[in-house]
Structure 1
Amino acid sequence: MIQIQAALFWAYAVGATFALSAGRQLQVWERINAGEGPRTRSRAANPYLALTALFAAVLMVPTGLFLLWQNPAWATMHVADGHEGVWAGFVLFYAGGIPVAAIVGFLVAQTLVLVGAGYWAYLQCVGGYFLLFGTLIHGWDGRGYERFLSPGAADFTHWPRESVVNHVLDFLTSGTFLALLLFGAAVIGTMLATEIGWLMEGWSLPGADEDRAVPRILGIAIAAASVHGLPFVGALLASVLVRLVGGWVGLPLFAVVAGLTLLHRRSPVRWLYGLVGVPHRHWRAGADDGYESQVTADRPA
């Protein structure tokens, strides 16, 4: 249900976020199957991975294809003016790429969670959403938000002639926005319900109360702000820096700010991550006794 250029980034971010939300369950799943045969260790036997692929295939792909058919100009960020400008292979790539990107995001984040690098799994979510918002806000030519707020090809072409307020009002009264509103209630609503449900399910497992340092409602709010809000602010900041000082200076400057914010051992983001109670330890299968518990600290010092 999002423009094609940003869709794969969103799918990857959704897959990674789903895996992080179910991180504690995935660790239990790994521990239960540690000594079992290859059939029970099959990727297809993982219910969380299967539900992630189902979400991408049943909700993300059909809504995106509907908007591509209804308004190809908007769906392609006005690269194409109509159906005749959309290559058929592009549609196939979109339909197949969304589930693949979601599965890849899930598997990467799951791997990081299982080796005790939960914070790096969280960074997969941040990176995916940053690229999503960066594409919608700035795009490849600095006109990302103009392309998003222009429901028709003529609106985008005539953008300089009208004020931003008029363009926003035109977009809010367009059929494209109505479709986004309806599909967003289903897709984003299901996405948030799944993330919150899996997070709360993980909190009910042994050890969760020791890791979660805040009430559940506050933990959900912190998780939402960290996964969805922080990348949006980062994309907005990156776009402003590029517009003010140019890409050659703005992007390196933003990289320094992002590195200090996300990677420093005493960064506020790491501290907030430690409050939510997502996994910071993992189990590794042993050769003799079947289960060997290994704790890996990934919390801020």
Structure 2
Amino acid sequence: MIQIQAALFWAYAIGATFALCAGRQLQVWERINAGEGPRTRSRAANPYLALTALFAAVLMVPTGLFLLWQNPAWATMHVAAGHEDVWAGFVLGYAGGIPVAAILGFLVAQALVLAGAGYWAYLQCAGGYFLLFGTLVHGWDGRGYERFLSPGTDDFADWPRDSVVNHVLDFVTSGTFLALLLFGAAVIGTMLATAVGWLMEGWSLPGADEDRKVPRVLAVVIAGAGVYGLPFAGALLASVLVRLLGGWLGLPLFAIVAGLTLLPGWSPVRWLYGLVGVPHRHWRAGADGSGYYAGEVTADRSA
């Protein structure tokens, strides 16, 4: 249901977010299946991965294709003026790419969670959403928000001659905005319900009480701010720096700021990540079918 240039970033971010929210369950799943036959350890047998693929295929793809058919100019960020300008292979790639990107995001984040790098799984979510918001806010030419807020090609062409307020009013009274509201209620509502539900489910498993340092409601708020709010703020900052300093100076400066914010051990984002209750000790399957929690001084191979 989002513009095509940003859709794959969004799908990847959703897949990574689902895997991170289900991190504790995925550890239990790996632990249960350790030593079992190849059928039970198959990727297709993972219910969380299957539900992620189902979400992408049943909700993200049809809503995106509907908007592409209903308003191809808006859906392509005004690269195409009408249906005749949209190559059929592009539509095919979009329809197939959304589930692939969501599955890829899930598998990468799952691998990081199981390998003892849960914070790097979170960075997959933040990175995907940063690219999503960056595309919508700035785009490839600094006019991303203009393309998003222009329901038609004439509206996009009129940006230099009209005020931002009038463009926003035109957008929120358009049929495209109405479609976004209806589809957003289904897609984003299901996405948030799934992510929060899997977090809640994980908190009921052993070890959750010692990992979650704040009440559940506050933990959900912190998780939402980290996954959605921080990347959006980063996209705004990157856009401002590029506009003020140009791409050659603005982007390297933003990379330095983002690195100092996210990567050091004293990073406030790392500290907030530790409050939410996504496991900081990550279970790994041993070659002999046993398992242990990474980071423990003494590995309990019988656990």
Task: Quickly name the TM-score band, shorter chain normalised.
Answer: over 0.9
Q: Aligned-pair distance for 1:169?
A: 0.2
SS of 2:120's partner is: helix
Q: Counterparts of 1:241-260 in structure 2 under 5 Å? A: 241-260=241-260
SS at match of 1:36: coil
The residue that corresponds to 1:273 in the other structure is 273
Equivalent runs, 1:13-32 vs 2, <5 Å: 13-32=13-32
- Aligned partners of 2:252, 2:139: CA distance in 1, in Å? 17
Aligned partner letter, 1:283: W
Contiguous gaps of at least 5 residues in structure 2:
297-303
Output the CA distance in 1 between the equivalents of 2:287 and 2:146. 58
The code of the aligned residue for 1:195 comes to A
2:301 alignment counterpart = none
Q: Partners in 2 of 1:57 and 1:134 — Cα distance?
A: 24
**Which residue of the partner structure matches residue 179 of structure 1?**
179
Q: 1:287 to 1:15 in 2, by over 3 A?
A: closer
For 2:270, the aligned partner's letter is R
Give the whole-Å Cα distance in 2 for the aligned partners of 1:168 and 1:143: 14
Q: Is the 8 A contact 2:284 2:294 kept in 1?
A: no
2:84 is aligned with 1:84:
yes
Q: Which residue of 1 aligns with 2:261?
A: 261
1:281 shift after superposition? 1.7
TM superposition shift of 1:34: 0.5
Q: 3-state DSSP class of the match of 1:264? A: coil
Amino acid at match of 2:34: A
User: Residues 15 and 106 of structure 2 are in contact (CA less than 8 Å); yes or no, is this contact kept in structure 1?
Assistant: yes
- Across the aligned residues of Structure 1 and Structure 2, the Cα RMSD in angstroms comes to 0.8
Alignment partners' CA distance in 2, 1:45 and 1:98: 21
TM-score, with structure 2 as normaliser: 0.97
Q: Percent identity?
A: 86
Distance, in Å, in 1 between the alignment partners of 2:211 and 2:101 is 30
| TM-superposition CA deviations, 1:22-68 (whole Å, max 9, x none) | 00000000000001010000000000000000000000000000000
TM (norm. structure 1) is 0.97
**CA–CA distance in structure 2, aligned partners of residues 61 and 109 of structure 1:** 22
In the alignment, what sits opposite 2:97?
97
Contact conserved, 1:238 with 1:254, CA < 8 A, in 2?
yes
Shift of 1:284: 2.4
CA contact (8 A) 1:59 1:187 kept: yes
Q: Please list every run of at least 4 consecutive aligned residues from structure 1 whose deviation after the TM superposition is greater than 6 angstroms.
A: none
CA contact (8 A) 1:283 1:291 kept: no
User: Contact 1:68–1:76 at 8 Å: present in 2 too?
Assistant: yes
Matches within 5 A, 1:93-242: 93-242=93-242
Task: Look up the equivalent residue of 1:150 and give its one-letter code.
Answer: S
Q: How many angstroms apart in 1 are the aligned matches of 2:48 and 2:209?
A: 22
> How far apart in 1 are the matches of 2:128 and 2:241?
20
Work out the CA distance in 2 between the residues paired with 1:246 and 1:223.
Answer: 32
Question: CA-to-partner distance for each residue in 1:52-110, whole Å, 9 max, x for gaps?
Answer: 00000000000000000000000000000000000000000000000000000000000
Which residue is 2:300 aligned to? none
Structure 1 CA distance, aligned partners of 2:142 and 2:271? 33
Partner of 1:284: 284
Aligned residues: 296
Secondary structure of 2:283 counterpart:
strand
How far is the alpha carbon of 1:273 from its aligned partner?
A: 0.1
Q: Which runs of structure 2 are paired with 1:12-51 in the superposition (5 Å)?
A: 12-51=12-51
Post-superposition Cα deviations, 1:183-228, rounded to whole Å, max 9, x if no partner, equal: 0000000000000000000000000000000000000000000000
Q: Determine the C-alpha separation between the residues in 2 that align with 1:140 and 1:26.
A: 37
**How far apart, in 2, do the equivalents of 1:182 and 1:38 lie?**
42
Report the Cα offset of residue 287 of structure 1.
4.1
Partner of residue 292, structure 2: 293
* Secondary structure in 2 matching 1:9: helix
Contact 1:6 1:136 in 2 (8 A): yes
Deviations, residues 235-272 of structure 1 (Å, cap 9, x unaligned) = 00000000001010000000000000000110100000
Aligned residue type for 1:175: G
- 1:216, 1:60 → 2: CA distance? 28
SS in 2 for 1:121: helix
Q: Secondary structure at 1:284's aligned position in 2?
A: strand
Q: CA deviation at 1:291?
A: 2.0
Q: Distance in 2 between matches of 1:167 and 1:287?
A: 60
Give per-residue Cα distances to partners, 1:105-163, cap 9 Å, x unaligned: 00000000000100000000000000000000000000000000000000001111100
Query: How far has the Cα of 1:294 moved from its partner?
Result: 2.7
